């Protein structure tokens, strides 16, 4: 890609003023970065104030590496043009959209938000698009996938440069539809600013990220902002069974369409419910059925949302229906550990509601369930003891541990999990030791589930990312428990 600085400034709504800006129409820009280490010759460096570092402190390094212009939101000294903006995070998104020729307008972008189920829903929709012969991409927790390739990402919703770069590549590869998980932090930090969505979907809202948002009201309002980015001809898709669905739709453009799905209300546009081993679906006057893809109620919600998204692209229900029974859950979502006789699952669940949904599903199928419950370091402390209460209420037995402690004391995490409990639980400040103990006890149970890691294959301890393969550990301890 190659743009002039003038091309980019024309679309910079955050612009306030600039210094030393001569002949921007003749200044060629070959790239943009917010990391001084990634700056190359003829790049623009955008100063972002992050959690641990402030890009304004790395301007000299960026210039040394080839930056020809700096975007900042506070006064700095620099020997290249400085472009001052009100909000450099929003400016980064505007620059990324402009640099990559607004790729979200050149395919159908489908955003999915909700406390739980984003990864599963986007994966299921991606599978359905593939089954009906459409070229689709996917951006989310499990990476960015299109054209037979997958690229790792550090966040559920990546930074705007990564998003727009890959959307542009998808367009070039002939992708027509892209599924995107949209987190509340990504909305608040302007990572999706400027993107245009053909559909926006809302799954549910429950306790999470209150360390970031402060209140449930702010959390809900932040998620609802996704619907403001619908195109005028787009469609807002919502779960009618969640009371927050009206807030979401109220944010959509007045000309946009709406589509409601439900397992409980017969008034929704798409109604689905389980009947024995069949998934019954109703769309207007059309009533059809499919072999049940999943037993868990929450995964049927995710399936309904995925079907709803595909329907909005003009694919008829009759064409989608044969493929529903083929759907599979993504990695780390109620994933049964292979290579062992015992029924042991790993699950990414890390919110009270997600854990409740999984434990409820398992205790309905298995008489005796053992749970390994954990919480991550430097994340929402307010939800920790609520997660414990959910498991206690289910009647399942429980072991407490931690995952990704980062710089937080593991004992503090365990204390938070145990707060308010009159019963003493086995607790381990090292996850591998907890898994060993869990496996030693599995002979007394019909089923076990380990929460927290899911698909993730590293433990974040301090600043280090240590390789950590949870399914492999479970197999090792259950097959050869005497191994060190």
Is residue 155 marked as binding?
yes
Query: How sure is the predictor about 64, in pLDDT bands with cuts at 50, 70 and 90?
Result: very high
Spatial distance between the Cα atoms of 198 and 230, rounded to a whole number of angstroms: 6
End-to-end CA distance of the chain: 53
Same domain, 73 and 138: no
183 annotated binding-site participant? yes
Residues 253 and 267 in one domain: yes
Helices and strands, counts by H and E, the chain: 16, 26
Cβ distance 110 to 138 under 8 Å? no
Q: What confidence score (pLDDT) does residue 15 get?
A: 82
* 33 touches 46 (CB < 8 A): yes
Residues 149 and 93 reside in one and the same domain = no
Cα–Cα–Cα angle for 283, 114, 287, nearest 5°?
10
Note whether 379 and 458 are same-domain residues. yes
200 is in an annotated binding site: no
pLDDT at residue 483 is higher than 70: no
CATH of the domain at 248: 3.40.1190.10
Same domain as 115, residue 92 = no
- Report the C-alpha gap between 351 and 211 in whole angstroms: 13
Q: Is residue 481 scored above 60 in pLDDT?
A: no
In-domain check, residue 484: no
Residues 313, 364 within the same domain:
no
Residue 464 lies in a domain: yes
- 254 annotated binding-site participant: no
With beta carbons less than 8 A apart as the criterion, state whether 119 and 181 touch. yes
Summarised one tens digit per residue, pLDDT across range 152-184 is: 998 899 999 999 999 999 999 999 999 999 999
394 is in an annotated binding site: no
Q: pLDDT digit string (tens) for 410-430? A: 999 999 999 999 989 999 999
- 341-358: per-residue pLDDT in tens? 999 999 999 999 999 999
Instruction: Indicate if 241 and 379 belong to the same structural domain.
Output: no
Q: Is residue 189, in this structure, part of any structural domain at all?
A: yes
CATH of the domain at 433: 3.90.190.20
Structure tokens belonging to residue 471 = 């399914």
116 annotated as ligand-binding: yes
In degrees to the nearest 10, what's the CA dihedral of 215, 221, 224, 226? -90
Residue 289 lies in a domain: yes
Q: Say if residue 57 is in the same domain as residue 130.
A: no
Annotated ligand binding at 97? The verdict is no
According to the annotation, is 263 in a ligand binding site? no
| Residues 379 and 266 grouped into a single domain | no
Q: Which residue range is the domain that position 197 belongs to?
A: 103-324
Annotated ligand binding at 145? The verdict is no
Q: How many CB atoms lie within 10 A of CB 24?
A: 18
Q: Specify whether 35 is located in the same domain as 63.
A: yes
Number of domains present in the structure of the chain: 3
Per-residue pLDDT tens over the stretch 288-335: 999 999 999 999 999 999 999 999 999 999 999 999 999 999 999 999
pLDDT of 480: 67
In a domain? residue 329: no
Q: Are 458 and 465 in contact, with CB atoms under 8 Å apart?
A: yes
What is the pLDDT of the chain when averaged over all its residues? 95
Shared domain for 113 and 56, answered yes or no, is: no
The CB density around residue 148, as the number of other CB atoms within 10 Å, is: 6
Q: Would you say 313 is a known binding-site residue? A: no
Note whether residue 208 is domain-resident.
Answer: yes
Are 291 and 344 within one domain?
Answer: no
Q: Binding residue per annotation — 19? A: no
Residue 78 domain-assigned? yes
**175, 153 in Cβ contact below 8 A?**
no
Q: Is 115 annotated as a binding residue?
A: yes
**Residue 16 pLDDT more than 70?**
yes
Q: Which two tokens stand for residue 435?
A: 């898994």
């Amino acid at each position: 890609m190659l743009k002039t600085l003038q091309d980019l400034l024309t679309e910079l709504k955050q612009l306030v003023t600039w210094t030393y800006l001569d002949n921007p129409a003749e200044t060629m820009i070959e790239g943009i970065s917010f990391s001084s280490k990634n700056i190359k010759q003829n790049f623009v460096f955008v100063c972002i104030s992050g959690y641990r570092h402030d890009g304004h402190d790395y301007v000299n390094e960026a210039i040394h590496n080839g930056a020809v212009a700096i975007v900042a939101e506070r006064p700095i000294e620099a020997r290249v043009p400085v472009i001052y903006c009100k909000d450099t995070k929003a400016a980064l998104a505007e620059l990324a959209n402009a640099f990559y020729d607004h790729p979200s307008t050149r395919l159908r972008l489908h955003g999915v938000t909700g406390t739980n189920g984003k990864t599963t829903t986007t994966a299921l929709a991606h599978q359905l698009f593939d089954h009906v012969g459409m070229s689709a991409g996917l951006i989310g927790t499990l990476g960015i996938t299109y054209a037979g390739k997958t690229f790792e990402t550090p966040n559920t919703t990546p930074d705007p440069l990564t998003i727009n770069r890959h959307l542009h590549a998808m367009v070039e590869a002939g992708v027509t539809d892209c599924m995107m998980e949209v987190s509340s932090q990504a909305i608040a930090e302007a990572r999706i600013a400027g993107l245009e969505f053909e559909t926006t979907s809302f799954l549910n809202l429950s306790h999470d990220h209150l360390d970031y948002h402060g209140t449930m009201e702010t959390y809900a309002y932040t998620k609802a902002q996704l619907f403001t980015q619908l195109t005028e001809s787009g469609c807002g898709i919502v779960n009618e069974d969640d009371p927050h669905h009206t807030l979401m739709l109220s944010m959509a453009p007045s000309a946009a369409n709406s589509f409601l799905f439900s397992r409980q209300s017969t008034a929704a546009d798409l109604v689905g419910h389980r009947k024995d081993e069949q998934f019954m679906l109703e769309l207007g006057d059309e009533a059809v059925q499919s072999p049940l893809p999943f037993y868990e109620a929450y995964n049927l919600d995710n399936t309904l949302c995925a079907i709803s998204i595909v329907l909005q692209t003009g694919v008829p229900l009759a064409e989608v229906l044969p493929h529903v029974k083929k759907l599979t859950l993504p990695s780390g979502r109620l994933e049964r550990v292979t290579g062992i006789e015992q029924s042991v699952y790993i699950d990414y669940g890390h919110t009270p509601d997600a854990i409740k949904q999984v434990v409820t599903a398992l205790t309905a199928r298995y008489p005796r369930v053992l749970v390994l419950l954990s919480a991550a370091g430097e994340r929402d402390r307010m939800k920790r003891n609520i997660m414990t209460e959910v498991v206690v209420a289910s009647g399942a037995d429980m072991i407490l541990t931690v995952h990704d402690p980062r710089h937080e004391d593991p004992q503090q995490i365990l204390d938070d999990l145990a707060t308010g409990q009159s019963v003493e639980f086995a607790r381990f400040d090292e996850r591998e030791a907890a898994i060993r103990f869990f496996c030693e006890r599995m002979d007394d149970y019909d089923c076990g589930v380990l929460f927290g890691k899911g698909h993730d294959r590293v433990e974040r301890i301090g600043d280090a990312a240590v390789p950590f393969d949870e399914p492999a550990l479970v197999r090792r301890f259950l097959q050869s428990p005497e191994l060190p």
